[in-house]
Structure 1
Amino acid sequence: MFEHLCILIKDTIVLKAPKKSTLLLRMIVLTFAMVCGIYICSMCMKQISTRTNVGFTNVQMHKKPCEAPNIDPREKRYVHYPNPKTFSRAECACNPVRYFAILSTQRSGSGWFETLLNSHANISSNGEIFSVKDRRSNISTIVETLDTIYNLDWLSSASKNECTAAVGLKWMLNQGLMVNHKEIVEYFNTNGVSAIFLFRRNLLRRMISILANSYDQNAKPLNGTHKSHVHSPHEAAILAKYKPTINATMLIPNLRQVEEMVAKALEDFKSTRHIILYYEDIIKNHTKLVEVQDFLKVPQVDLKSRQVKIHKGSLSRQVENWGDIKKALKGTPYESFLHADYRM
């Protein structure tokens, strides 16, 4: 009996021990599973968050490129989509923009011509930017300035900002243009900049205008103010009263010098996309302005300027020593300059 009881007790002990061991093991496994589950969930959440952020970053950094309009493949290099830093082009972001530069000489009608261009709602010509010496001190400052202008970040009274279709500047040949012509030609060709040459055929008229403008800078007959251009017949009449005296001895060498400078500019920039205009031709034939708008690929409109011409009519009434000038030019290639070559 006692032996049976002992056996029963032993069996009971043997049976109870596995139950306690299994329960403990289950608890350990359950705890381990919970820890692993929490760890796995946290890792998944981090991955989802990282992927979401990456997705948003890609959307912000990679904007859909603008599609070029249906244009001649040869013209595509001249079509640009600037991304200015100073403002947003908004709905006009994908409107193509053309780059240009008016290359000219002083008193050749470039100021008047520029006001005509700026009367167009889609053209911005920012003036004589390189008249400031620091901007043309070296090719680096020139390129930096050009980049700012063509990125639409050069803000002036001529800026059309968002919906500009053609942007440029007025650049005189003696303002670092000819000195750095190789680098500038390369810049124009690389960045798709078109050149608009504007000169005067009658270099004698240009000389008279230069001398009169120089006098005005010193005398300032308009209420002590120097004005290169005027907007009223009254102001024009006051400035036209001055009649310069031209050095007849140096007249032909001076005319030849300007002529050679113009010829060199045309030769140096012949590889660029360009158009050649003359002040007298624009005055006599207004279809020239249509050609310019076609050259810049902008809608054709009637271009207007508020500027009033200062020197009109016969040259004999505009200089003091007309007899000396007439004698100096007679029988030379420049004799034609003595005669009126357009009407105003």
Structure 2
Amino acid sequence: MLFGLRQTNMIEKEREQPCHHPGVPETETPYVHFPTPNTYKCACTPVRFFAILSMQRSGSGWFETLLNSHENISSNGEIFSVKDRRSNVTAITQTLDKLYNLDWVSSAAKNECTAAVGLKWMLNQGLMKHHQEIAEYFNRRGVSLIFLLRRNLLQRHVSILANDYDRNTKQLNGTHKAHVHHRGQADVLAQYKPTIDTKLLIAELKRSDKLAADGLVGFKKIRSIVLYYEDVVSNHTKLTDVLDFLKLPNMKLSSRHVKIHTKRLRDHIDNWTDVSNTLNGTQYQSFLNG
């Protein structure tokens, strides 16, 4: 596998600077790059490429701000939320090339030579539709993957419904906020308690479960680390694991994001009894303990 990766990497390496970093072990060389941006020079700065693969309302926004608080990481947001960029494989690879060549300009980009460069990519944003071609691209370019998933899919479902409600009602002074930075704003958004359609609930949980499982299988041959939102929240040593995975120096990471739903799950669902009756005795019963 490693030999094949070295071979397929040769074409891409020819586009990079002819640099060598003596501190990089031979087994890591497929994952270390020396890009040549069009707008500035990197002077043989070793760069690692990564992608955060996740699902909506799984904590990826919060997680990405944590990573971006590291001085050596530049994660450029949900680039493929724009449909034209994922319209076909060519559009996807051209977008990725621009990103990993360090020519991507965005508010999140540090636009300087950083040790790790990546993006946040939702599984339903063309990723699974073209997963074979994208996996081949990741393999060819030596991209490492960070999966961020959610164990409790019922909590995720509540967050999706609440976010959709705010998108329509714009509760904060007529503005929709998918993420907030103040406790008062979070408390306003948390007041909404969705009524869940229990007839569709199990099918929705199965669909989400399958999407995550398909993502893990579809990219199983790519160097990756799998994280769960709940584990990162409760155990910040998981962030150290991520920095080790990216071969970056350990430092304290921070985010201004404020968690919206902080109470027991039963306190955030209007028809809790119906939901409880629906999930009791099923494979999703444990979600009720959230």
Measured after TM superposition, the shift of residue 256 of structure 1 is 0.9
Measured after TM superposition, the shift of residue 64 of structure 1 is 7.8
Q: Counterparts of 2:17 and 2:283 in 1: how far apart (Å)?
A: 59
Q: Counterparts of 1:131 and 1:142 in 2: how far apart (Å)?
A: 12
Retained in 2: the 8 A contact 1:80–1:96?
A: yes
Measured after TM superposition, the shift of residue 298 of structure 1 is 1.1
**Equivalence for 1:180:** 130
Q: Counterparts of 1:200 and 1:240 in 2: how far apart (Å)?
A: 19
Q: Counterparts of 2:112 and 2:221 in 1: how far apart (Å)?
A: 31
Retained in 2: the 8 A contact 1:212–1:242?
A: yes
How many equivalent residue pairs?
A: 275
Flag the structure with higher helix content: 1
Measured after TM superposition, the shift of residue 85 of structure 1 is 0.5
Across the aligned residues of Structure 1 and Structure 2, the Cα RMSD in angstroms comes to: 1.2
Which of residues 262, 271, 274 in structure 2 aligns to 1:312? Answer: 262
Retained in 1: the 8 A contact 2:51–2:143?
A: yes
Instruction: Give the TM-score normalised by structure 2.
Output: 0.93
Q: Is there any run of 5+ residues in structure 2 with no aligned partner, and where?
A: 1-15
- Secondary structure in 1 matching 2:112: helix
Which of residues 19, 34, 44 in structure 2 aligns to 1:81? Answer: 34
Q: Counterparts of 1:201 and 1:306 in 2: how far apart (Å)?
A: 23
Correspondence list, 1:1-344, <5 A? 65-89=18-42, 93-340=43-290
For CA contacts below 8 A with separation 6 or more, give which structure has more relative contact order.
2
Measured after TM superposition, the shift of residue 67 of structure 1 is 1.4
Q: Deviations over 1:257-313 (max 9, x none)?
A: 111111111001000000000000001111000000011111110000000000012
Instruction: Give the TM-score normalised by structure 1.
Output: 0.78
- Runs of 4+ aligned structure 1 residues displaced above 4 Å come to none
Retained in 2: the 8 A contact 1:244–1:320?
A: yes
Retained in 1: the 8 A contact 2:17–2:35?
A: no
CA gap of 1:64–1:143, structure 2 versus 1, over 3 A, is closer
Q: Deviations over 1:311-333 (max 9, x none)?
A: 01211110110000000011111
Q: Counterparts of 2:240 and 2:64 in 1: how far apart (Å)?
A: 14
Q: What percent of counterpart residues are identical?
A: 62
Max radius of gyration: which structure? 1
- Secondary structure in 1 matching 2:276: helix
Retained in 2: the 8 A contact 1:95–1:165?
A: yes
Q: Counterparts of 1:160 and 1:105 in 2: how far apart (Å)?
A: 25
Retained in 2: the 8 A contact 1:237–1:310?
A: yes
